[in-house]
Amino acid sequence: MERTCRNTELSIKDVGRQVTLLGWVAKRRNLGSILFIDLRDRSGIIQIMVKDADKVPDIRNEYVIQVKGVVGKKEVANPNLKTGEIEIIADEIVVVNTAKLTPLIIADETDALEETRLKYRYLDLRRPCMQKYFDIRDQIKISVHSYLHKLQFIEVETPMLCASSPEGAKEYLVPSRLHHGSFYALPQSPQMFKQLLMVAGFERYYQVARCFRDEDLRADRQPDFTQIDIETSFLDQEQFLEMMEGLIHEIFMNTIGYDVKLPLRQMPYREAMERFGSDKPDTRFGIELKDLKEVFKDTTFEAYKSAETIKGICVPGVAAETSRKVIDNLTLEAKKFGLGGLAVLKKENGELTGSFVKFLSEAEKVALINKLEANDGDILIISAGAYNRVTPLLGALRLQYGKQLGLIKPNTYDLLWVVDFPMFERDVESGAIVATHHPFTRPKDEDLKYLDEDPTKVISYAYDIVINGYEAGGGTLRIYDQDVQRKIFNILGLSDAEVEKKFGYFVNALQYGTPPHAGMAFGLDRLAMILGGTDNIRDVIAFPKNLAGVDPMSMAPTEVSAQQLEDLGIVIKDKD
């Protein structure tokens, strides 16, 4: 159908111009003889004025209409609209299509619950704020393509149907119709393929890649997601990070006009955990963790005598509102982290109060106040136990209070690299050695000797980019020596036979002149979420799943026919 232009392409300079517009009715206001219609298209809203309302067909919200008329200047401008200085004085209005009463308000502010929004996602996506998120997402991708092509990167698509391989999360499996009993796996990431492209001599690869992980969901995680996947040859860590900082600068500038100051600071993993209790620290506010082992070196409190770690935080100005119920909730939070509890003290009138005070000597009270820099009205939260339980607990409480107390200035961005991750860590439940990142991460040269002595001492060439407390991307220098790669697999409990079965093609490729290489992946969804100013990753994915892993619109996952199962050689067991 005929359309002169989009709504917001018109301005005060177009007054007197004859135009034809198409869009949806966002709102109608009948003032008797005069009718006003807010017409919405993807670019925005423009006001339509109809001088003779009786001659207009029946028009309701979300009808698709065509408007012919003349651009006029408004008597009173609307500064909240891009087209606020003008309106269209309609000569003719044609109803292109009608619409039922929508189950949600189609505006930035809507009254619909998220489940309703997801069920009617095609309507939810009409909301201007949602379209803004996707403009940002699109601009991120444009920036990526432009920046990387200038640096001689080549975009290569890797397979979606892959061999199953253990990379941490559970995989989604796809049964083969031609080979009953055999399965493809959907890629958790293109990790081995992009490394093989370096073996193949491509030197600089990237891809906006779809990835799949069968994980429990949360606000910033989806089962199918998109990452900006990057791999390079012949760069050391500093050269690679400098290149990636340039990409981040380009993305921020092109999407929201924010000038990221480079170079980004680097924080060792150990420092991030010690100070912030997280490997993705939000450093826009204080409430840092403090080590209290020295404070309690002479303690008579049995639980603290043998504790591996004792740490604390001081939360400012919340003593008056910290009731027994609040303290009980904090204790419950500690139990979620596998700890028996924690100590909560208040500083009031220069003294510490609380049930834990009876276990403290006068010297310990003074030392605690000084170490945590506590003032009247503050609370002190102390936890003791295993390092890998105490530290993340206090990190989570720190973040909770930072948000609750409004300590984070809005519309600010804090970016840093977290580097020097341990190569391995012990699983909290089983105690088994597992890879901190993935088994293809290169150990630091000076730590290779610990692979045989004590693998937990090995530091790796690994790096995560953290933006406002979110891990927005991560990567490593890769192992390019086949003997080191096999040794890493063996440390992780894989026999040579298992390595051959699961990774044989990959390890064999390392024998053919593999270059030193490095890479990383940025989470496209997470970047769009951060830059869009939302804390819900579902807002920036067109058709997402809910927390149960279900698409309320299509109701996927769904059952399939008996014939389909028979073709695949699959029998479904009855649920117990």
Model confidence band, residue 501 (pLDDT cutoffs 50, 70, 90): confident
In the sheet that holds 470-477, the strands lie side by side as 154-155, 204-212, 224-233, 517-523, 470-477, 462-467, 415-419, 265-268
**Under a CB-based contact definition with an 8 Å cutoff, are residues 295 and 369 in contact?**
no
Query: How high does pLDDT run on average in the chain?
Result: 94
Please tell me the predicted confidence (pLDDT) of residue 20: 98
**Confidence check: pLDDT of 219 > 70:** no
Residues 6+ apart with CB under 8 A from 521: 189, 209, 227, 228, 229, 230, 473, 474, 475
Please tell me the predicted confidence (pLDDT) of residue 433: 87
Residue tagged 């034809």 (tokens): 20
CA distances from 336 to 247, 288, 330, 342, 452 (A): 38, 21, 10, 12, 35
CA distances from 354 to 202, 423, 548 (A): 64, 41, 41
Residues 6+ apart with CB under 8 A from 375: 316, 347
The Cα–Cα gap between 348 and 378 comes to 8
Which two structure tokens, joined as six digits, stand for 125? 């996506």
User: Domain ranges in the chain?
Assistant: 7-97, 130-269+414-541, 285-404
Architecture (CATH level 2) of domain 7-97: Beta Barrel (2.40)
> Where do runs of H (alpha helix) occur along 405-495?
450-453, 482-491
Q: 157-200: per-residue pLDDT in tens? A: 999 999 988 656 789 999 999 999 999 999 999 999 999 999 99
The shares of helix, strand and coil residues in the chain, as percent rounded to the nearest 5, are 30, 25, 45
Model confidence band, residue 499 (pLDDT cutoffs 50, 70, 90): confident
**Under a CB-based contact definition with an 8 Å cutoff, are residues 177 and 110 in contact?**
no
**Under a CB-based contact definition with an 8 Å cutoff, are residues 3 and 20 in contact?**
yes
The Cα–Cα gap between 244 and 259 comes to 15
Residue 380's DSSP bridge partners are 314, 345
Q: 32-79: per-residue pLDDT in tens? A: 789 999 999 999 999 999 998 788 888 999 999 999 999 999 999 999
Residues 6+ apart with CB under 8 A from 178: none
Q: 104-151: per-residue pLDDT in tens? A: 999 999 999 999 999 999 999 999 999 999 999 999 999 999 999 999
The Cα–Cα gap between 304 and 520 comes to 41
**239: part of which helix (H) or strand (E)?**
helix 237-256
The conformation of residue 82, written as its DSSP 8-state character, comes to: T
**Confidence check: pLDDT of 575 > 90:** no
CA distances from 433 to 153, 327, 445, 469 (A): 36, 35, 20, 27
Q: 234-286: per-residue pLDDT in tens? A: 999 999 999 999 999 999 999 999 999 999 999 999 999 999 999 999 999 99
Percentage of the chain surpassing pLDDT 90? 86
Q: 394-444: per-residue pLDDT in tens? A: 999 999 999 999 999 888 999 999 999 999 988 777 778 888 888 999 999
- Which whole number is the average pLDDT over 451-466? 95
Which two structure tokens, joined as six digits, stand for 373? 């820099």
**SS3 state at 158:** coil
**SS3 state at 112:** coil
Please tell me the predicted confidence (pLDDT) of residue 54: 80
Model confidence band, residue 389 (pLDDT cutoffs 50, 70, 90): very high
Architecture (CATH level 2) of domain 130-269+414-541: 2-Layer Sandwich (3.30)
- Which whole number is the average pLDDT over 4-19? 97
Q: 273-319: per-residue pLDDT in tens? A: 999 999 999 999 999 999 999 999 999 998 899 899 999 999 999 99
Please tell me the predicted confidence (pLDDT) of residue 502: 84
**Under a CB-based contact definition with an 8 Å cutoff, are residues 449 and 458 in contact?**
no
Architecture (CATH level 2) of domain 285-404: 2-Layer Sandwich (3.30)
**Under a CB-based contact definition with an 8 Å cutoff, are residues 308 and 330 in contact?**
no
The Cα–Cα gap between 323 and 469 comes to 28
